[in-house]
A = this chain, B = another copy of it.
Amino acid sequence: MIFTKSAKENYMKLAFEQAELAQKQDEVPIGAVVVDSNGAVIGHGYNRRELDQNALKHAEMLAISEACQNLSTWRLEHCSIFVTLEPCPMCSGAIINSRIENVFYAAHDRKAGAAGSVVDLFKVPQFNHHPVVYPGLYEQKSAMLLQNFFRAIRARKKQK
């Protein structure tokens, strides 16, 4: 699927709405949506690691899982994911496993990013699927959201 500039921005805004739901619940604000080949949002999710006390509950995983459920297939070919932070190895692996075609992410993750920053799992020739990656849409917005979140946590800790 080819996205217009405004379509890409709108989907990324939906991912940010998810990130804000995380933030409201004191979770690291990361959100994601999965879009099918017709442009319908078929999956959404936000980071719930602390809420659910489960290491697998990243935004992308919830969005991919919902998308599989909605399409009744594990194959998300021709689907795209929009996520506010570069996927970690687990989520990048999930994107490969589900055959998602396009990956749009906002901020780079210099510590754990597996879509170019630390490693690039999407470019390993031996793997059987290679999503196309579009980084940097609303990068500043996402970086600020995360920075402010961690700044607020540090401030609260100091007060204690």
Contacts and interface: CB of A to CB of B under 8 A. Distances in A.
A136 interface: no
State how many copies of this chain the complex holds: 2
Contact of A53 (B49, B61, B74): B74
Contact of A97 (B68, B88, B98, B124): B88
A74 B54 contact: yes
Contacts of A68: 52-56
A111 B69 CA distance: 27
A127 interface: yes
Contacts of A52: 68, 74
B74 A64 contact: no
Contacts of A74: 49-50, 52-55, 57
Interface in A44-100: 49-50, 52-58, 61, 64-65, 68-69, 72-76, 88-94, 96-99
A119 interface: yes
A73 B51 CA distance: 10
A117 to B, nearest CB: 9
Given A53-B73, A68-B55, A89-B92, A111 B97 contact: no
A118 interface: yes
A126 B114 CA distance: 11
Contacts of A4: none
Nearest to A112: B127
